[in-house]
Amino acid sequence: MKLREQAGEEARSGELVGASRFGNEGNSGRQKMEMLSRLVVGGIPMRLRHPIWMELSNTYSIMQPEAYTYYLNLHENEDPTEIEAIVKDVPRTLTSKYDYYAEKGYDRLKKVLIAFVNKYPGLGYTQGLNMIAGYLLLAIPDESDAFWVLCKMVDDYFPAEYFSKDTAMSAPLSDNVVLRQYVRELMPRLWDKMSELEVDPEHTVPLSWFLTAFASVLPEVVLLRIWDVWLCLPNQKTFLFNIALTLLAHHAKNLIECQSQGEWFAYMSNSVRVSEEPEKVNELIRQAFAMRRKLEQVEMRRALEMKRLKRHPSTDALYAPEPETEGEA
């Protein structure tokens, strides 16, 4: 299967990959999907991410003509405190990409976030969205297209109401509880250490891992490879779980040596790193993808846990700006 090298208008006028037709092509379609999976797991070239992410995530299905401009100028939905938080966060987002953002990216990022909060008044602005949108704009420089991919992520890739103020972070907290279940099944020694240190299941990993889809944790080259799989392959909307478990497995030896809860949290916050060497990145993605059959029940377990998990009293602060922290891992 050949992927055309052009993007832009060519991508809008037709499919680059044509994956939507594979299901109607019998054995040939299955072979094409297997090849597509290998190509995506191996990494999509940066110049092709814009059209391929939009096509394979089915973002085109939710796009509406002129709607981005409409939401950007829908001032009646604007909350001044949210706009203030956006304006404050934008200049400290992805500061290592300053050569890009200082020139043209900050204004685009601000517009994408303002349009987003106007489209989703029930969600509003949650810290971490700036990181997700910031990296989207690196791969998808067109701000309208980046906006729609962000909307697609929130609508279809994150669990329902993941960023809702009403549920107060109960969804990412429940994800941590579900993750802990898989740690018990797949890494019992690590689970024993968590229990010994009395690490709450809701805090198995930092909430930012899931809330930012790892944008606040991992370097660009690793993050975009993760998003290649997450956004582009069927049945991989829970791929962030695969990554979380793979990272825990990679760091299990050091984590098991932690002697206190404080040491554990310090390690999780500051020492979980991934090499940017191509071979190491390939290994991480392949290992995470290989876990897919072991994690087939993630969505069912999520739904069950969401029914049980009550509002967590310490999560309201996640909606407030944190002036002293910089928005990049």
Asked if 200 and 210 count as a contact pair (C-beta separation under 8 A), the reply is no
Q: What is the dihedral of CA 152, 155, 161, 165, to 10 degrees?
A: 50
Q: What is the mean pLDDT of residues 298-326?
A: 61
H-run or E-run covering 88: helix 80-89
Check whether residue 127 and residue 228 sit in a common domain: no
Helix, strand or coil, per DSSP, at residue 327: strand
Helix, strand or coil, per DSSP, at residue 201: helix
Q: Over 80: is that where the pLDDT of 232 sits?
A: yes
- Say what percent of the chain tops pLDDT 70: 84
pLDDT 10s digits, 80-122: 899 999 999 998 888 777 566 666 778 999 999 999 999 998 8
The predicted pLDDT at position 323 comes to 37
Check whether residue 269 and residue 176 sit in a common domain: yes
For residue 148, give the nearest of 230, 62, 78, 268 by alpha carbon: 62
Residue 272 lies in a domain: yes
Helix 129-139 / helix 220-232 crossing angle, nearest 10 deg: 90
The tokens 């500061």 sit on which residue?
Answer: 95
The predicted pLDDT at position 3 comes to 37
Residue 49 lies in a domain: no
The predicted pLDDT at position 186 comes to 96
Residue 236 lies in a domain: yes
Between the alpha carbon of residue 180 and those of residues 23, 96, 187, the distances in Å are 35, 33, 10
Q: Which CATH number belongs to the domain containing residue 67 in this structure?
A: 1.10.8.270
Check whether residue 227 and residue 205 sit in a common domain: yes
Q: Over 60: is that where the pLDDT of 312 sits?
A: no
pLDDT 10s digits, 34-77: 888 899 999 999 999 999 999 999 999 999 999 999 999 998 87
Q: Over 80: is that where the pLDDT of 318 sits?
A: no
Q: pLDDT tier at 7 (50, 70, 90 boundaries)?
A: very low
Question: What is the domain range of residue 28?
Answer: 12-42
Residue 48 lies in a domain: no
Q: Over 60: is that where the pLDDT of 24 sits?
A: no
* All residues at 6 or more sequence positions from 190 whose CB lies less than 8 Å from its CB, including other chains: 183, 248, 252, 255, 256
Residue 23 lies in a domain: yes
Residue 145 lies in a domain: yes
- Bigger pLDDT: 125 or 264? 264
For residue 230, give the nearest of 250, 212, 251, 252 by alpha carbon: 212
Q: pLDDT tier at 152 (50, 70, 90 boundaries)?
A: very high
Q: pLDDT tier at 22 (50, 70, 90 boundaries)?
A: low
Q: What is the mean pLDDT of residues 123-127?
A: 86
Q: Which two tokens stand for residue 226?
A: 């993760």
pLDDT 10s digits, 168-181: 678 889 999 999 99
Question: Domain count of the chain?
Answer: 3
Helix, strand or coil, per DSSP, at residue 6: coil
pTM of the predicted protein model? 0.86
